[in-house]
Chains A and B, each alone.
Chain A
Amino acid sequence: MPSYQAPLRDMRFCLYDVFGGDELATLPGWEDFTRDLIDPVLDEAAKLCEEVLHPLNRSGDEEGCAWKEGEVTTPKGFKEAYTLFKDGGWTSIACDPAYGGQGMPAAVNILVEEMICSSNLSFGMYPGLSHGAYVSLAAHGSDELKAAYMPKLVDGTWSGTMCLTEPHCGTDLGLLRTAAIPQEDGSYAITGTKIFISAGEHDLTENILHLVLAKIPGGPKGVKGISLFLVPKFLPDAAGNPGERNAVACGSIEHKMGIKASATCVMNFDGAKGWLIGEPHKGLRAMFAMMNTERLAVGVQGLGIGEASRQNAVIYAKERIQMRSLSGVKAPDKAADPIIVHPDVRRMLLTQKAYMEGCRALAVWVAKALDVSKKHPDPEVRKENDDFVSLMTPIVKALMTDLGSEVANIGVQVFGGHGYIREHGQEQYVRDARIAQIYEGTNGVQSLDLVGRKMPEGAGRLLRRFFHPVSEYVAAKVEDETMGEFVQPLAKAFVRLQQATGQIARTALGRPDEAGAASVDYLRLFGLTALAYLWCLEVEVAKAKIDAGEGDIFYEGKIATARFFMERLLPDTGARFSAIMAGGKSMMTFPDEAF
């Protein structure tokens, strides 16, 4: 049985010490979000995740969801856990108080989400999808729709879905076929099949609100002709309670690699009644309202799973005894030394730690910018932060899920054969982490978003929000006696990133394939450079604490982890840089027949 303990100390370190989380309470309307309010929220979330959600993770995976005649049953204990979750107010923490939410800053919410993902990603899918539906409805729904659906969506009585994918159309939404025929009463009749619909059908809530992308006949072709609709499973009656069953049904659920306790449904809409959200043919825009937050949330899934795997790997490496240390016996009282003495095991554990703690800092950094982009009184500051979030969103999503997956894999390796068998739960993390690299826009698509949209925007204006602070930081600290050891590797990676950026910008104009060929390596190069910068910030805080006499093993660990990151992980930027500069010719000239 794996264990999980919420990394509250590191979370608070990131939020308060590295990113000045106390400033959140200086934003207008957020005066209440001080440590006094935030700390108990984090403590309570940790308790719920450790005690309620985590124990259901393995069993949920073993049991999976069951489909019978259109009904889906979630694994044992999920319904009760959901009731606790809902009653605890956790479905509404990031929702607007105007709809009964608690309006928690994203920088706090993202930490709660990490805990949920660490303890039970499958479970987290249900409220997670509801939140996506909430964001779209809040941004673009009419007042009538909001009045009818928001309160129960926010308080968790009802849940939501996002219905995008169809059998023939995934990434390319322009191919969509689901049709929406206008009805006399102002509603639409929705007909079509949607697949891969997470939480499409389940027994946790009394009603399910499907947000469906469909085409109104006669509209523009391609993605410009897509509209967004709200299609409830049960049409609310006069009292607002679930009434008549709508013509939407779950045809089956998928059998899949991981997140088995999350119901992934085929949804059939057969003239189902739906209402337009936003303007006709502007459905994609309505969907994009939730894109930044959703992609951040998926990035955090990678972090959450990786963190869980990492914790168990550390425990196992200290307990498991096998072989003697290469440099002599370390535990003479035992038959062998604990495997944590072996260089490669230490390499693995440090890799996990350096990546995951770096990712946590990245998540908090971007989430806090998201908060500032919405709440700051100065429009210029809001815009700068909005730019930054747009730029970093694909990086957060792809880097954190790629690294989460890598870290989960390392977690199996530390366990050896015991990681491969189901008993210890390490292999489940690998399976569960895998999907996050795929959904919400594959990581390949994230990389294209970075080089194709974010990079050229405003001739690099978005890039400025990262490059200028880092450039100034490097210039200020590279000669610094105590920080030089960390800032010099950062400076090296940063120059590589600048050169690769310039190269891609130059070639992309005439040869878009070149940008595509460079994109995945570029995103990793960018992400690792960002982590290097964040590790420098963490070291500065840790050093300051130690200098102030508050030092302990946590801060010493921070400095040592940063050193490992700079020396052993950041050099990957050199390889990525070489790959980018080599160009895409070797791939693009390769004959298809020769594959």
Chain B
Amino acid sequence: MADIAKVAVIGAGVMGAGIAAQVANSGTPVVLLDIVPKNLAEGGDRSAIARGAVEKMLKTEPAAFMSKAAARLVTVGNVEDDLALLSDCDWIVEAVIERLDVKQALYAKIDAVRKPGSIVSSNTSTIPLASLTQGLSDAFDADFCITHFFNPPRYMRLLEVVKGEKTRQSAIADVSRFGDVRLGKSIVPCKDRPGFIANRLGVMWMQAAVVEAFDRKMDVEDVDQIIGRPFGIPKTGVFGLLDLVGLDLMPHVNASLAATLPAEDMFHEQYRPSPLIEKMIADGYTGRKGKGGFYRVNREKGKRKEAIDLVTGEYRVAKKADVEAVKAGGKSLAKLFDHDSEAGRYAWAVMGRTLAYAALLVGDAADEVEAFDEAMRLGYNWKKGPFELIDQIGTAEFVRRLEASGLPVAPILKVADGKPFYQVVDGKREVLELDGHHNVMTRPEGVLMLEDVKLASKPILKNGSASLWDVGDGVVCFEFTSKMNSLDPDIISLLQKSISTVKKGYKALVIYNEGSQFSVGANLGLALFAANIAAWPEIENLIASGQQTYKALKYAPFPVVAAPSGMALGGGCEILLHADAIQAHAETYAGLVEVGVGLLPGWGGCKEMLDRWSKVPKMPKGPMPALAQVFEMISTAKVAKSAAEAKEMQILRPADGITMNRYRLLADAKVKALAMVEGYQPPAPPVFRLPGPSAAAALKLAVDGFWRLGKATDYDRVVSAAVAKVLTGADADMLIELSEDDLFDLERAAFMELVKTPGTLARIEHMLMTGKPLRN
């Protein structure tokens, strides 16, 4: 297996630039080329397009780069002067305009300079692989494949890989491994068929949803509610999604599928031009990037939310969808389909057709049903893939419905013969194969999923908000199970119990879960309610027991590795800070955000950040530089937008690891934990020397400056003062040595003072009600 150590991307459009950024995020040097700008002035920048793309990415949110350091790994150039840069690249990705002649001409140029055995792939979404390589050398054919990324490449985890007839297997293996381990993608192998998997099915679904909605004269809000949540599809439904991706993209994609799919393909039935959509595109209503789409915000009418009427084509006030069929359906898709209303009939017309089509594609777009499910989950953010949805309906029941409504019954459904596509036998997940047998699903090496452990075993400990699992080799995994993985007294108490359990019979503890967010911090609803009923002792106990538990975690006689993915905020960040090591998913968003709700880190966050920054080499002398860093981070509620940024902020220490692929996180964390077992010694407790009131006064001065500039609010000053008091050690001075417990006491006292203040309660309430911080 050859290592991919350097990559080139040609085409610096949205996709190409985004792919290059993700390659750089993996720590791999990358060359990004585009054409020389047309009508370039004499002496102008011949690489302006690629350079501009990188600069633009550094400014846009959500960011394509995980750190500024990553951006420095990109070398920009143009295809006329800099093709030589490709000569030492192991993988060259083509992401230029979707025109066969342009691509083929480029391939010839690439082939002339690339090193032998380097892999070349195209990011095409519409052109068959077979036509792309026409007329090129056999050697090129052997090294060529399609790697189809989704937009935006950093955040969308699907990578469709298409092997050509002549592609060498090792090229597919190398690119897949790099895509998986280094770029963090889930690789779905597809056949060389139009639209591959996700778009073939996704476009069919969108087209069916749109055509049926027009035919039935439905309200767009209702449509999005009906084919959204009940099916585990994002609440943007179809019209919200079209607004997001751009209405103008659709005719192009539709036409391409219509031109390349065989005449008998079901897609053609749904492929009908829509005069209204064409008019919207012509008038500039291309979605969120344009003047609006099916929804828009009418600024002339006081930012009124409006939706388009599919019949009249006029905008009207948007309504909150409240579809009776959806309510009556509850969790039952059958009830929704059978609901005697246009909504019920619509739900079946769209989803019945989509799922029937998905079944027809087995053996065509790919052979494995799990490929379809993975593609739709990761490419369209569906909670469940099509075959999981069919299982939810029941295969026999689904076939009965298809027959009743005259829809085609695919061979795979006959193969299933009433059996589910997925089943669990002896704690192992099995999937239906084309031959009618269920085979055990296996994970690639280096992937360990807690969901598999949970199918195969019972938790060692469990309560309403957390569980403890045996993940093998003497390692246990502490899992949060509360809503949004918010921290509550149950989690704290199970953590305490877990520490004694690990002591007795295990080697190491990993703190990890498979929720979309690691933890959003303390359960604010509970905290606010307790504060509202003046249950002060209860709140103080919660803070104290959290402190003691985190401390016990830190000094436990075994290694603790925290493995976050997604948000790790507030108390969820503080638990990371008390672990011996962190193995973070690259997409980890960690920060001490307490001031946003008028509080401060009370579970050792202030203390640990002071300790971390004081140990950073090359800091100027004295306590102030470290203290100022921590103060700024906490008092502005700064959140790292990646694991790499968390490292810059010292939330991750230099020895902490970053895993690019979400699926590999637990296994990596486990390896890290086991490596520490031999000769493990708990850390030595830190001591603090803090400068006291004079330093607090200096920090206050700085905040007052921001306040005068209007950058800090009245209440920011109150909260910042409390943060400053803790970080400077209250009435401490440099001669007094403060212990960890002293810092805990300071945190707790300041926390209790704030939580009794109306300004804090208003902030918490606002956050709970609106999800946004209150600037009081």
Chain A residues within 8 Å of B, Cβ to Cβ? 458-461, 463-464, 467-468, 470-471, 498, 501-502, 505
Contact = CB atoms under 8 A, between A and B. Distances in A.
Contacts of A464: 531-534, 761
A458 B765 contact: yes
Nearest to A458: B765
A461 B533 contact: no
A502 B529 contact: yes
A461 B534 CA distance: 11
A468 B530 CA distance: 11
B244 interface: no
26 contacts: A458-B768, A458-B769, A459-B524, A459-B525, A459-B528, A459-B532, A459-B768, A460-B531, A460-B533, A461-B532, A461-B761, A463-B532, A463-B533, A464-B531, A464-B532, A464-B533, A464-B534, A464-B761, A467-B533, A467-B534, A471-B534, A471-B536, A498-B535, A502-B529, A502-B533, A502-B535
Nearest to A474: B534
Nearest to A497: B533
Contact of A459 (B535, B538, B765): B765
Contact of A468 (B524, B529, B534): B534
A460 B530 CA distance: 8
Interface in B511-558: 524-525, 528-536, 538
A224 to B, nearest CB: 9
Interface residues of B, number: 17
A459 B524 CA distance: 9
A459 B534 contact: no
Contacts of A501: 533
Contacts of B533: 460, 463-464, 467, 498, 501-502
Given A459-B768, A464-B761, A498 B534 contact: yes
A212 B448 CA distance: 66
Given A458-B765, A458-B769, A461-B765, A505 B529 contact: yes
Contacts of A498: 533-535
Nearest to B766: A458
A319 B768 CA distance: 62
Given A459-B524, A459-B768, A502-B538, 4 more contacts: A463-B529, A467-B534, A470-B534, A502-B535
Interface of B: 524-525, 528-536, 538, 761, 764-765, 768-769
Contact of B529 (A460, A470, A471): A460
Contacts of B524: 459
B534 A460 contact: no
B529 A467 contact: no
A467 B538 CA distance: 15
Contacts of B534: 464, 467-468, 470-471, 498
Nearest to A469: B534
A471 B538 CA distance: 14
Interchain residue pairs A-B with the least CB separation, the first 4: A460-B532, A471-B534, A464-B532, A459-B528
A471 B769 CA distance: 25
Contact of B528 (A460, A467, A502): A460
Which of A459, A460, A468, A470 has the most chain B CB atoms inside 10 A of its CB?
A: A459
Contacts of A463: 529, 532-533
A80 B764 CA distance: 58
B763 to A, nearest CB: 12
Given A459-B765, A502-B538, A467 B530 contact: no
A471 B534 CA distance: 6
A34 B530 CA distance: 40
Contacts of B768: 458-459
Contacts of B764: 459
Nearest to A468: B534
A242 B383 CA distance: 66
Which of B530, B534, B769 has the most chain A CB atoms inside 10 A of its CB?
A: B534
B606 to A, nearest CB: 26
Contacts of A459: 524-525, 528-529, 532, 764-765, 768
A458 B531 CA distance: 12
Contacts of A468: 532, 534
A460 B761 CA distance: 10
Contacts of B761: 461, 464
A543 B528 CA distance: 37
Contacts of B529: 459-460, 463, 502, 505
